[in-house]
Structure 1
Amino acid sequence: MKKHTRTWGIRACAALLLALATLSTSAQILIGQTAGMTGPTAAPLNEANSGAQLVIDAANAKGGINGEKIEMVRIDDAFDARRAGENARVLIEDKKVVALFLSRGTPNTQAMIPWLDKYGVALIGPSTGAMVLYKPLQKHVFNVRATYQSEAEKAVQHLVTIGLTRIVVVHAADSFGKDALAGAMTGFDKARQKPAAVVAADREKPDYASIVPKITGADAQAVLWFGASQVVADGVKALRAAGSAAQVVTLSNNASSGFIKQLGDASSGVIVTQVFPNEHLIGQPMVHEALALAQAKGQTELSPAVLEGFAAAKVLVEALRRAGPKPTRAKVLAALETMHDYDLGGLEVHYSPQSHAGIDFADLSIISQGKFKR
């Protein structure tokens, strides 16, 4: 009798442990991310991730979304588009994530789209402003930032307005670089100007020995340099070493404190376009909220990249909340497409079945004394 009782007790305990394990597993919302945590975009990407984690940790600390905590499943693609595509497959097919989040790089994000479309999975907040993700509409991509084309156009407009007309464009020889170039050319057309030269550069290993002479040979007053943070930083250093004082402008993909560190002594005066409000403007509601969460973790400052991750995660959390308990891929998609006027804190996100553009905000900043100034 005692043996029977002991056996029953063991079985009951085992069943209870299994039930608790099942409950623990089910009480999580898996969100996937493939991005270059290492490689040429690691600095801004990891800053964006830290901003996103502020929102996710805050939501989980309050018990999660409808009682379920968010768990991020991150895989490094080292900024390699082929790896990004394969990682997306693994996250969707094997890890069974509900949504993907905060990819990095235009070709990388494009490599993910076939898997998004095959399984009906939303990608929220890709950290790229490539027009190919906006028009024509990508059914499963939900942008949370302005386009590179609007940034590049604004940059040209600014340079021409201050009297700089001999402008050289250096762009990565990939879909990102060509997209930014298209925006710049729109700016030139509107200003009735033409670039002094257009130089295509290898995405990861540009030949600065051939690029810099083309810039100096054109007697450039300004250079629009479209590329990854480490690539642009090394290019600026090579340009300065050649004796050129040309004004350098780059896009918001390099709006991070990591980029400033990569530039080192060459950082002063570099202009970086921005797609979120001034991170030092604490009266701005989104900035105020982000800074409060950051300070609670011992972080004293924000960067534009931190704000981008923060904004994307706010949209993610809101979509999960609207999707209701036990969110599915389909419920998350439906929640996003009905998110018409979601206030991030001074900026509104607008989605519909016809538009997944999110926010339309572009500004300029200049690096001075190791910080972005506006």
Structure 2
Amino acid sequence: MAGWTRRVFAGAAALALIAFAPAAAQAQIRIGAVLSVTGPASFLGDPSKKTLEIYVEQINAAGGVNGQRLQLIVYDDGGDANQARTFATRLIEDDKIVAMVGGSTTGTTMAMIPLFEEARIPFISLAGAIQIIDPVRSYVFKTPHTDRMACEKIFEDLKRRNLTTVAMISGTDGFGASMHEQCLAVAPRYGITVGHVERYGPRDSDMTPQLTNIRNKAGVQAVVNAGFGQGPAIVTRNYRQLQVPHPLYQSHGVASKQFIDLAGDAANGVRLPASALLVASVLPDSDPQKQVVLNYARTFEQKTGQPVSTFGGHAYDGLMILVDSIKRAGSIDPRKIRDAIEGTRGFMGTAGVVNMSPTDHMGLDLTAFRMLEIRNRDWTIVPAGGS
């Protein structure tokens, strides 16, 4: 970033990346981010880091927030929950941040939550599981749609296709385990029966045995994969190799071009719920979200040379909600910022319209999700009511 220098701290399992403003223009509002920039969840953390850097630079170039510059302090936890907790402690005790936008995975987020709650510093998570904001915690918020919402959106689509019996194959990581339980819980409300269950670990490189069991299970009409990272790409490739004859659904945890690249042609035909960001250019001009997602997509791609992903969009939403809240609070007191975040209404982000409240620290409803299908290695929108 222009005019900023970097210090690199080597840790046992992670790299800490910290951005400092020059002494002559020292930032006055310190915000933190603990992200999985490297490691198995780098597809989540890397676009988030790039997004935060791009927009902090833009905000400062435009005069900052309430006349004060932002100072962004980023640590890379490498996807390790213990490292995340260590860096969260550093942000709170040494860096004296006023708020945090970060937490790439459910596991790292859950490890950091008690620290921010105890310190009474707002924490806007970028991870997916509903357990982050349910039950509601005073200082914890999140920007992505929840795993429960993903289940509901998938089951809506299954119901439209008259498919009522599914098999689930789920990762054993924090997100996969949480989404698995959420799908089981909401399935009866949609008239869906989960007729078979399989699991896979984060280091598994072949899911053929589990998928063979699913293929041979009588009565199964569709398959839902609850997971993120490389696991769903392996599931998708094995699925096509075995010629499983049922529709395959993935979660919003794979909503990036990287999933398509990893899965290859096997990804064609896969459906998943995701934000409008992935299909920004093909949204109708009448769509109220189009300009927001189109502007973010263009900015990210021009600045980085990389395809946009929903995970960078979560960071954009978190940062902009935070900046708007600081402006409305007229203060950098963490407690006043917290109150302003909770009072966010009508914020149009890449994930949808956000309306938070004391009982809802995410603020999205199911209309914020789009059902997408991958065709010719690209995203397409499944028409409302389409089969």
Q: For this structure pair, what is the TM-score category when the shorter chain's length is used for normalisation?
A: 0.7 to 0.9
Aligned partner of 1:328 in structure 2 is 333
SS at match of 1:178: helix
* CA deviation after TM superposition for structure 1 residue 206, in Å: 6.4
For 1:227 and 1:87, how far apart are their aligned partners in 2? 26
Structure 2 runs not aligned, ≥5 long: 1-20, 382-387
Q: Which residue of 2 aligns with 1:144?
A: 143
Q: Distance in 2 between matches of 1:207 and 1:295?
A: 33
Check whether the contact 1:54–1:310 (CA below 8 A) recurs between aligned residues: no
Report how far residue 328 of structure 1 moved.
3.1
Taking the aligned partners of 1:49 and 1:371, their CA distance within structure 2 comes to 25
SS in 2 for 1:331: helix
Q: Which amino acid aligns with 2:139?
A: H
Following TM superposition, by how much is the alpha carbon of 1:261 offset from its aligned partner in structure 2, in angstroms? 1.4
The question of whether the paired residues in 1 share the 8 Å contact of 2:314 and 2:350 is answered with no
Q: Percent identity?
A: 24
Structure 2 CA distance for partners of 1:243 and 1:351, relative to 1, 3 Å: closer
Aligned to 1:119: 119
Matches within 5 A, 1:294-373: 294=300, 297=303, 299=305, 302-324=308-330, 327-344=332-349, 347-360=352-365, 361-373=368-380
More helix by share: 1
Tell me the SS of whatever aligns to 1:352. coil
Structure 1: any 5+ residue segments left out of the alignment?
A: 1-19
Q: 1:127: how far off?
A: 2.2
Larger RCO, structure (CA 8 Å, separation 6 or more): 1
Deviation at 1:343, TM superposition (A): 4.1
Are 1:189 and 2:188 counterparts? yes
Report the CA distance shift for 1:99/1:201 in structure 2 as closer, same or farther (over 3 A): same
Q: Answer whether contact 1:44 1:257 (CA < 8 A) is retained.
A: no
AA partner of residue 264 (structure 1): G
Question: Corresponding residue for 2:87?
Answer: 87
- For 2:25, the aligned partner's letter is S
Give the drift of 1:188: 2.6
Counterpart of 1:210 in 2: which secondary structure?
helix
1:287 is matched with: 293
The amino acid of 1:348's aligned partner reads V
Q: Residues 260 and 354 from structure 1, CA distance in 2 versus in 1: closer, same or farther, beyond 3 angstroms? A: same
Aligned length: 352
Match of 1:7 in 2: none
Q: Deviation at 1:24?
A: 3.4
The 3-state SS of whatever aligns with 1:128 is coil
Distance 1:205 1:120, change over 3 A: farther
Deviation at 1:186, TM superposition (A): 4.1
Aligned to 1:56: 56
1:307 is paired with a residue whose SS is helix
Residue 109 of structure 2 corresponds to 109
Structure 1 partner of 2:248: 248
TM-score under structure 2 normalisation? 0.81
Q: Which moved more, 1:304-313 or 1:294-303?
A: 294-303
